[in-house]
């Protein structure tokens, strides 16, 4: 029974992640199927006479990618930046839309922009109490008013929740109480989503073992 349980668990560890991945991909494909922008006359089944599963989704993804590239090409030049500025000025006049658009734009800039230090470092802090450590991401280091009023050199960090790393808390933590980790952001997110099961390897483990205090001599 011991070997049977070990083989059963090993099989589950292979098929469960694969099944979850396929399920999420199918869910994404089904969602995209409802947003197909191809006219009925140009659908693959009408052109080819054969229905190919999810071919319309693939074509929609390709068209969406082309639209994004063209939009980025236009927005990157001077004329495009002026058009975007006018568009954002118009949206800024609408009360509810202004709030949602501004928050979404700032969040997208944090995630996709190459500049700045937001979400570029994985940190370790003692939270929610001393002696208990939590993973977090650095979001800002220039906090003039907070630093002036607290008389501390503080850093703004984002502490994600598990298993959904898109929600969490922002904390202002003194720099002296922060431990900067070697792991990258992607590895940290995998660890958070997996409930701590997927722990990224660390090349500095041998050095840490050599610094660890040795036990009493026999």
> How is residue 216 annotated by DSSP?
-
Percent over 70 (pLDDT), the chain: 77
Two tokens, residue 144: 């003039």
Whether this prediction's pTM lies above 0.85 is answered by: no
- Give start and end residues of each alpha helix (H) in the chain: 2-33, 44-48, 55-76, 78-91, 95-112, 144-150, 185-193, 205-211
More confident residue, 21 or 184: 184
Give CA–CA dist 54/37, Å, rounded.
14
Specify whether the CB–CB gap between 188 and 122 falls below 8 A.
Answer: yes
Judged by DSSP in three states, 179 sits in: strand
- Residue 148 CA to residue 158 CA, distance in Å, equals 21
Span 180-198, mean pLDDT?
Answer: 89
Mean pLDDT to the nearest integer, 153-175: 89
Strand partners, 159: 169
Assigned token pair, 34: 């409802």
What are the pLDDT digits (tens) for 52-95? 666 666 777 777 778 778 887 877 777 777 887 887 888 888 88
| pLDDT interval class at 217 (50, 70, 90) | very low
Residues 6+ positions from 92 with CB-CB distance below 8 Å: 98, 102
What is the average per-residue pLDDT within 191-199?
88
Instruction: Name the residue among 197, 193, 177, 204 with its Cα closest to residue 123.
Output: 177
Model confidence at 102: pLDDT above 50? yes
Q: Distance (Å, rounded) from C-alpha 177 to C-alpha 166?
A: 24
What pLDDT, in 10s, does the model give residues 108-149? 666 665 555 677 899 999 999 999 999 999 988 888 899 999
């Amino acid at each position: 029974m011991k070997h049977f349980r070990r083989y059963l668990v090993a099989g589950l560890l292979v098929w469960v992640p694969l099944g979850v991945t396929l399920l999420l991909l199918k869910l994404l494909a089904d969602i995209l199927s409802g947003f197909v922008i191809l006219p009925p006359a140009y659908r693959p089944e009408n052109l080819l006479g054969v229905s190919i599963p999810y071919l319309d989704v693939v074509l929609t993804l390709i068209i969406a990618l082309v639209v994004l590239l063209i939009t980025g090409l236009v927005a990157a030049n001077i004329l495009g930046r002026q058009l975007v500025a006018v568009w954002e000025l118009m949206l800024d006049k609408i009360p509810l839309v202004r709030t949602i658009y501004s928050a979404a734009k700032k969040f997208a800039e944090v995630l996709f922009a190459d500049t700045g230090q937001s979400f570029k470092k994985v940190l370790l802090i003692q939270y929610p109490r001393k002696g208990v450590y939590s993973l977090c991401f650095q979001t800002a280091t220039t906090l003039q008013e907070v630093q002036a009023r607290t008389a501390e050199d503080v850093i703004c960090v984002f502490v994600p929740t598990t298993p959904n790393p898109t929600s969490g808390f922002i904390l202002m933590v003194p720099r002296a109480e922060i431990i900067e980790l070697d792991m990258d952001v992607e590895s940290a997110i995998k660890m958070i989503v997996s409930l701590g099961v997927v722990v990224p390897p660390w090349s500095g483990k041998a050095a840490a073992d050599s610094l660890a205090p040795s036990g009493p001599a026999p």
